[in-house]
Structure 1
Amino acid sequence: MLAVLVVVIGVLATSGWLIRPDDRPADPRTAETAAWDRLVYGPDAAAQTSPAAVSRYFAGLNAASQRHLADRYPLVVGNLNGAPAEIRYRANRVALRQAIDVERRWLKTADASAWGARNGRRKVHRYESLLSSNRHILGFDPSGDGRAIEVIGDLDTAERIEIVVPGADNGLLNFERTVGAVTAPAGMARNLYNEIRAQDPGAKVAVIAWADYQTPARIGIGALTGALADRGAVRLRAFIRALPERARASVFCHSYGTVVCGRAAQQLPAERRLSNLTVMGSPGMRTDSAAELAADRVWATRVGDDWVGELPFVEFAGFGHGADPTGPGFGARVFGAEGAHGHTGYFAEGTDSLRNMARIALGNYTSVTCSNARS
């Protein structure tokens, strides 16, 4: 088994996964959250923080009061499951402007290391991009490596909601990219949305780039174990449970994000069962069978030159992520990904993988093409 772990670490290392330190300011949400809890919940916060309770709370406020709370507590309201989407968008615009101010002030001090200063400048650039008028940011947290959720489409009218869950090394700095845009969460979601609309221009659909968990930082124990996936699964389940009940929800998960989705789907309540759970380039989902996942249909794909295929699909003493979802015994429907290359090419334009994911999102299951290897 030691040899197995050496192989895993070796593959990750040769794929360019390296850790870099950073020296960011302390979590800016802590004091704001405490003040919010005192204002809204009083001593019985736990009983009042469910999405349904939050929704009722905001429904009892007039528009001016909702806007006031978004402006006063942006880091809370902007990440509050159950709050109206438009109010969360507003709150996150406020939070982004505040984060830009914080970074710019910090960059003028002598506290930033050379690496930290470079990251600070990159974060200002990222925040300014997220503030663009055509973007809808449903979640934003600048603490640590940062987290973000972006909605593409109209969440309030969507009949189908597709959630893209990315894998390792996807903090705020990597939420979108200029070069290799389709390898970043925002680019993945945008390409999926565009392909869905190309296949069905009238589709009432929203695609969400969900990078709202702490991902493994390139190589490290986090990528080899399920600890971060378990924490991310808690957040993903809470997010899915807060989605509008009228809409059918599906998840499209890549790389380590498939571990998060697997853990989340093992504990979803029956009333929030997923329509589809689709995985690409999965190292395993910490389950041996698609039947253990709360999804009507489970789909999987992996191309031949994806380095994940070289990993041992085992789980031992907490290391590894278990069975191969594309394996014949797992029970997933294996779909074609012709045209995709490498570990990050599944959402590229013109690929069978992207076309098939759009067909899955639209419910056009008989049009999904099979993998040539397992037709």
Structure 2
Amino acid sequence: MTGSATGYRVAPARLDTAAGEYGTRAEALSTAQSAVAGEKVPAAAFGKVNEAAAAAKTFEKTMTELGSKLSDHVARVKKLQSGLTESAAGYRRADAQVAAMYRALMPEDPLPKAGNPAGIGGAADTGAWGQAIAANRTKVSDALTAERSRLAQLTDKDEIARSQARIKLYEDILANNRQILKFDPSGNGRIAELVGHIEPGTRNVGLFVPGVNTQMSNFDAYAGLGRSLVAADPTGRTAMVVWADGVFPQNPVAQGPSASYAQAMAPDLKHFTDDLRGEIASHAGSDVTLTAIGHSYGGATVGLAETQGLDVDRVLHVESAGMGHGVWSPSDLPASQAGVQRFSMTAPLDPIEIAQGNAWGLEWTGIGHGADPDTFPGVTELETGRDASGNELWGLSSHSDVLKPGSESWTNMYRVVTGGPTTANGTFDPHGILENGVEFLNDGGVLR
């Protein structure tokens, strides 16, 4: 809970963190209590003198009393832990109730969800994408049958896990009538999905492009990000397209530095976005804002698609490998991109920083992904901040953790897509030695 001139702001995640700390303390005290409780020593331990027996009894009494006091402290600390946990849950419930009340009072009613008749894939949609969704449903059904047969023949543990993940994805697509725009199960698989609805009243559409290691078996993690961003808009006026309709590098060290994958995907992404613009115009009108989000290698792919005139209003680089092979200044982009708003975010000490703005003198060989998006002219650098539990996002794990709902980075993503107020980089307030050290290293050794 933090105070201000206008009142108090409660962060349930901080309460969870405090509860965890009290739990750790309770365990330590409990261990100490167990060690001293009933501690006894033989009478001869204090020497073979008349007072030895009395000293032994005094020691035993002292240890017993100490154990009892420690037991009381353990109970109190556990009670505090329980209270903090219950308080956090209570605040979350209250937040949800208040949010529901505000939604009910919103002047702009949520869009109707009855069948999506006028949207892409709806009952009234006879366009190319509506037909593609119907055709891909049959393809997914066929792929499910084939994958089940393939799984029965597999013996490699990793291959079995990937096959099971594919089967789970296919089953979910069919069970929930998911809107699959592109589908090819061959190789590592290629797929694109529309999450939410593009229909009259839609105001924002996001286009997410993932990075290294993307394949059919892990696609649902990225689709989940799309679902979380769509669900965050209570009016239903935001949709997401998750695009993995390409061959992605599968090794960050051996394949990640090569621009060849992005060079192959960029034209397809550009053409897909042209089609997306047409579908948006047909189903939702011309006043819809389209935002491309490139994560990791996906940032370099989006960047190269910009060199070919990617038709978007905003671009957001998230832990991006670069602005695109050969893109070092705004003059390397065509005139069509002059009005594009650009944003970037990179968590402190994410190893992707090694790739950003570095071609190691090998750009002529097809290595490297252009300039660092965080320092590219005209780009607004955003804060990644903390995760939903209140912990600073930094290091290797932050590369993917920035996509998790509830984090400040995820909130910035949502606000870029919907045109809301974002949190600029440099606003992070470090607490404790570790966070201050991370920020010190990330700022190049400059004290904050």
TM range (shorter): 0.5 to 0.7
How big is each residue's C-alpha offset from its partner over 1:202-241, in whole Å with a ceiling of 9 and x where there is no partner? 2522111111111101245431111110111111101100
Tell me the distance in 2 between the aligned counterparts of 1:347 and 1:275: 21
Could you say what secondary structure the match of 1:260 adopts?
A: helix
In the alignment, what sits opposite 2:424?
370
| AA aligned opposite 2:380 | R
Task: Give structure 1 stretches of 5+ with no counterpart.
Answer: 1-62, 67-82, 177-183
Tell me the distance in 2 between the aligned counterparts of 1:279 and 1:290: 15
Greater C-alpha radius of gyration: 2
The answer to whether residue 371 in structure 2 is matched with residue 323 in structure 1 is yes
Task: Give structure 2 stretches of 5+ with no counterpart.
Answer: 1-122, 388-392, 428-442
Q: How many residues align?
A: 277
Tell me the distance in 2 between the aligned counterparts of 1:312 and 1:370: 19
Tell me the distance in 1 between the aligned counterparts of 2:222 and 2:331: 28
Distance 1:371 1:119, change over 3 A: closer
Q: Which residue among 180, 186, 205 is the counterpart of 1:143?
A: 186
Tell me the distance in 1 between the aligned counterparts of 2:213 and 2:247: 9
Tell me the distance in 2 between the aligned counterparts of 1:121 and 1:152: 23
| 1:98, distance to aligned residue in structure 2 (A) | 0.5
The answer to whether residue 288 in structure 2 is matched with residue 288 in structure 1 is no
Contact 1:250-1:277 at 8 Å conserved across structures: yes
| 1:323, distance to aligned residue in structure 2 (A) | 1.5
Could you say what secondary structure the match of 2:141 adopts?
A: helix
Q: Which residue among 223, 243, 258 is the counterpart of 1:186?
A: 223
| 1:283, distance to aligned residue in structure 2 (A) | 1.7
Tell me the distance in 1 between the aligned counterparts of 2:240 and 2:357: 30
Tell me the distance in 1 between the aligned counterparts of 2:175 and 2:350: 34
In the alignment, what sits opposite 1:361?
417
In the alignment, what sits opposite 2:299?
258
TM-score for both structures, normalised by structure 2: 0.57
Tell me the distance in 1 between the aligned counterparts of 2:329 and 2:306: 12
Could you say what secondary structure the match of 2:180 adopts?
A: strand
Q: Which residue among 163, 171, 176 is the counterpart of 2:207?
A: 163
Tell me the distance in 1 between the aligned counterparts of 2:198 and 2:185: 23
Could you say what secondary structure the match of 2:313 adopts?
A: strand
In the alignment, what sits opposite 1:153?
196
Could you say what secondary structure the match of 1:131 adopts?
A: helix
Q: Which residue among 120, 131, 139 is the counterpart of 2:174?
A: 131
How big is each residue's C-alpha offset from its partner over 1:161-207, in whole Å with a ceiling of 9 and x where there is no partner? 1101101111100102xxxxxxx311221222233x0xxx2252211
Q: Which residue among 319, 331, 345 is the counterpart of 1:301?
A: 345
The answer to whether residue 248 in structure 2 is matched with residue 215 in structure 1 is yes
Tell me the distance in 2 between the aligned counterparts of 1:312 and 1:117: 35
| 1:297, distance to aligned residue in structure 2 (A) | 0.3
| 1:154, distance to aligned residue in structure 2 (A) | 0.7
| 1:356, distance to aligned residue in structure 2 (A) | 1.8
Could you say what secondary structure the match of 1:175 adopts?
A: helix
Contact 1:216-1:228 at 8 Å conserved across structures: yes
Contact 1:186-1:209 at 8 Å conserved across structures: yes
Q: Which stretches of structure 1, 4 residues or more, deviate above 4 A after TM superposition?
A: 115-118, 290-293
In the alignment, what sits opposite 1:10?
none
Tell me the distance in 2 between the aligned counterparts of 1:166 and 1:118: 21
Contact 1:164-1:188 at 8 Å conserved across structures: no
Contact 1:185-1:211 at 8 Å conserved across structures: no
Distance 1:105 1:134, change over 3 A: closer
Distance 1:260 1:312, change over 3 A: closer
| AA aligned opposite 1:148 | I
In the alignment, what sits opposite 1:174?
218
Could you say what secondary structure the match of 1:282 adopts?
A: coil
How big is each residue's C-alpha offset from its partner over 1:68-115, in whole Å with a ceiling of 9 and x where there is no partner? xxxxxxxxxxxxxxx533322211111111011122334455xx5535
Contact 1:291-1:331 at 8 Å conserved across structures: no
In the alignment, what sits opposite 2:382?
335
Contact 1:149-1:211 at 8 Å conserved across structures: yes
Distance 1:210 1:339, change over 3 A: same
In the alignment, what sits opposite 2:357?
313
In the alignment, what sits opposite 1:89?
133
Tell me the distance in 2 between the aligned counterparts of 1:202 and 1:290: 36
Aligned Cα root-mean-square deviation (Å): 2.6
In the alignment, what sits opposite 2:316?
278
Distance 1:219 1:338, change over 3 A: closer
How big is each residue's C-alpha offset from its partner over 1:269-294, in whole Å with a ceiling of 9 and x where there is no partner? 6xx3x110000111212211356452
Tell me the distance in 2 between the aligned counterparts of 1:108 and 1:356: 44
Tell me the distance in 1 between the aligned counterparts of 2:247 and 2:216: 10
Distance 1:333 1:227, change over 3 A: same
Distance 1:123 1:349, change over 3 A: closer
Higher relative contact order (CA 8 A, sep 6+): 1
Could you say what secondary structure the match of 1:242 adopts?
A: helix
Q: In percent, how many aligned pairs have the same letter?
A: 27
How big is each residue's C-alpha offset from its partner over 1:118-141, in whole Å with a ceiling of 9 and x where there is no partner? 543432222112222252222211
How big is each residue's C-alpha offset from its partner over 1:34-55, in whole Å with a ceiling of 9 and x where there is no partner? xxxxxxxxxxxxxxxxxxxxxx
